[in-house]
Every structure is written in structure tokens, then in C-alpha cells.
Amino acid sequence: MEKPLKILQVESSARKTDSVTRRLSQDLIGRLAANRPVNVVRRDVSPGLPVIDEAWVAANFTDPAERNGEQKARLALSDELVAELKEADILVIGAPVYNFGIPASLKAWVDLIARARETFRYTQSGPEGLLKGKKAYVVLASGGTEVGSQIDFASGYLRHILGFVGIDDVEMIAADRLMASADTAIAMAEAALDDMEERFKAAA
């Protein structure tokens, strides 16, 4: 029996209904699941995650063998998020563009998973990502921001931070400028998903 793909689905849209990123992310996962078995772990960060503070930073930079109970508790959620990411074969991030960037809740997730010695390490030649061999799909939606333009500070940031932790195989699916032409934007995103599905079938 074929081994199931482990998918981590990270959603960040403030909308629980009528969310374009949630719908397209689910569509993408459905297409993956149609071609081979999958196990999906869903992490909805939209209710908000704790922001890192001085105590968190101190705990993170303390040697794991020397952390006290309070420091371990400070890092417990981060440890859980990192473990989810390490376990995944495929990462699917739903990222609406808010005020030209990613939602604050998604930035908080990034801060909690970008950890030295866990997801990256420092070397003599610079930082090295430790999460190699994974595939990431980033599903973006915006009201007025053109994805890939000079005022888009979401897609480039996510591509960079994923590469920083070692995930270099990143594919973007964008439904942008929805306020100008929602039907066209969604149709283009769905066409991109159709193309992906053909590749999924060819690789199955």
C-alpha cells in the first residue's frame, strides 16, 4: 500500500466563510488526495498566536538540557508547531494579503517556527535551513495588491522565509486584485490548480 503523504495545512484568513484562500487551499489538497493517500494536519492560526517576548527568547537560547520547567512551558507551543512542520512532506499555506503583507497571525507562526538548531542552523558560510526535501504551496488572495508587484510584501517574504528554513521548492497560487475582477482572478487560480493536478496525475 502506498505510503500517505503528510500534509500540513496552515490557514490564516480572518474569514471562516467566504475565504478565497481557504477554499483554494482545500481544493488543492483535494486534488492531491485524489491521486494518492494523504494525512492532513490542519493548523488554523487566525485566532492568533502568542508573540515572542523576552522570556521566550531567553528560553529559546538556553541549551535544551539546561531549560527549567518554566522555559519548557514557554516553548511548548513552538515545539508543537515545529514538530508539525518537521513531520510534513507538503506544506500548504493559505495567506490573504492584508495591507500589502501577511496577516499578523501568520507572522507569529513564522516567528515560532524559525528557530536556530531546530529549523535552521548557523554555519561558517551563513545560515542553513534544516527542513530540506519538502514541498510548499502558498495560496494567496488579495483585494487590490498585484502579487509579484513592488507593493506585494507577502509572496516574496514567504518564499524567502521558507527557503531560510530549507524549503526551496515553493509554488505560488494567486487570486489577486479580487476587488477589480474576482471572477477572472479566481479562474486564473483554478487554472493553475488544473495544471498542478495534471502534474500530480503524471507523477502518480
Residues placed in the known binding site for FMN: 13
Residue 54 and residue 114 in contact, taking contact as beta carbons nearer than 8 Å? no
Place of cell 508539525: 84
Q: Measured between alpha carbons, how far is 109 from 162 in angstroms, rounded to an integer?
A: 12
Estimate the share of the chain in helix, then strand, then coil, as percent rounded to the nearest 5. 45, 25, 35
Q: Measured between alpha carbons, how far is 102 from 96 in angstroms, rounded to an integer?
A: 7
Name the DSSP class of 3. Answer: P
Annotated binding site: 13
Residue 148 and residue 155 in contact, taking contact as beta carbons nearer than 8 Å? yes
- Which cell goes with 153? 510584501
Closest CA to 93 of 7, 186, 191, 192: 7
Query: What b/e readout covers 68-100, taking b as 16+ CB neighbours within 10 angstroms?
Result: eeebeebbeebeebbebbeebebbbbbbbbbee
Q: Measured between alpha carbons, how far is 107 from 51 in angstroms, rounded to an integer?
A: 9
